[in-house]
Amino acid sequence: MVNKKVTPATPTPQSSNVPQRKARPATAESAATTRGAVTAKTVTPQRTVPPKPSVTASRFEGVQRGVRETIAELKKVQWPDRLTTRNLTLVVIGMSAALAVILGLLDAGLTRAVEWLVRLPLGG
């Protein structure tokens, strides 16, 4: 059996040079409120909780915020000039046409290859 040193869960107060806070003397009013009694002098104000917004209102606010943020971002964009826009548009159209031709030829070739494989006589 192993002997283990047991330490207390809470440290014991040790004397030090740090001054300790003194408790305030209890008054009759504070003693009455701590026991749950309500005196004539003590009035607790009621907190008003704002009503929760409806689901539709919160969604609408989210859409409004998104539109405002989008407009703010679009104002930061450095837009290209007319010549650059035209040239880049022509590049996109040309690449799309070239890709369409390549895919069309590939499709036609694969279609003929499959038809040829279907017409092969089965050996048996």
| Tokens linked to 66 | 């998104």
* pTM over 0.75, yes/no: no
> Among positive and negative, which fits the CA dihedral 23, 24, 25, 31?
negative
pLDDT: which is higher, 17 or 59: 59
pLDDT interval class at 54 (50, 70, 90): confident
pLDDT interval class at 89 (50, 70, 90): very high
Which pLDDT score is estimated for 40? 59
- Residue range 49-65: mean pLDDT, rounded: 79
Contact 33, 39 (CB under 8 A): yes
pLDDT interval class at 48 (50, 70, 90): confident
Match 């989210």 to its residue by tokens: 62
